[in-house]
């Protein structure tokens, strides 16, 4: 048995849920989390991203200083961002299929380069599981 932890963009929650259901996952848990990923260090790429984000974030209701502060805190890593954490228990043989379903639903190509900020997937071993309702244990308890 394996536990898959997938950290995804909040806007990708619905797509991830649909992908998991389509992949045949019987159950999973999703919670709101805060975090940040790797920082981009290329000054040219940072400036391009900053210009793009500032142009996207401005409207007649936005304060220029507030928007710039938010964009800067995003780029320098001083700000956490809301994400969704999915937890899925799967049979060992199903891991590649479930990972591909999650990755496919979350691959955007947004940001600096392809897919920066699209999320992270972790796979860990699970020694046992017990279904409370039936008392089933091990592999029988997860699907």
Predicted structure pTM score: 0.76
Domains of the chain, earliest start first: 1-36+81-143 (3.30.70.120), 38-79 (no CATH)
Longest Cα separation, the chain: 58
56: which 2 tokens?
């996207």
* 135 beta partners: none
Distance between first and last Cα of the chain = 11
Q: What is the pLDDT along the chain (143 residues), one digit of tens a residue?
A: 999 999 999 999 999 999 999 999 989 999 999 988 776 677 776 677 777 767 765 555 556 666 677 777 767 766 788 899 999 999 999 999 999 999 999 998 765 444 567 899 999 999 999 999 999 999 899 87
- Report the pLDDT value the prediction gives residue 81, as an integer from 0 to 100: 81
Q: How far is CA 114 from CA 11, 63, 109, 111, in A?
A: 17, 30, 4, 7
Cα–Cα dist 6/33, whole Å:
11
- Report the pLDDT value the prediction gives residue 118, as an integer from 0 to 100: 85
Element (H, E) at 81: strand 81-90
């Amino acid at each position: 048995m394996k536990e898959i932890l997938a950290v995804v963009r909040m806007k990708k929650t619905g797509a991830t849920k649909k992908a998991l259901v389509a992949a045949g996952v019987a159950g999973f848990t999703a919670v709101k989390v805060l975090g940040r990923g790797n920082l981009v260090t290329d000054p040219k790429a940072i400036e391009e991203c900053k210009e793009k984000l500032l142009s996207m974030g401005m409207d007649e209701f936005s304060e220029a200083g507030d928007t710039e502060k938010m964009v800067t805190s995003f780029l320098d890593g001083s700000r956490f961002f809301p994400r969704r954490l999915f937890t899925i228990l799967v049979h060992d043989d199903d891991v590649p299929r479930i990972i591909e379903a999650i990755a496919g639903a979350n691959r955007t190509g947004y940001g600096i380069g392809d897919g920066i900020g699209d999320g992270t997937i972790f796979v860990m071993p699970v020694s046992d599981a017990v279904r409370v309702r039936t008392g089933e244990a091990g592999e029988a308890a997860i699907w």
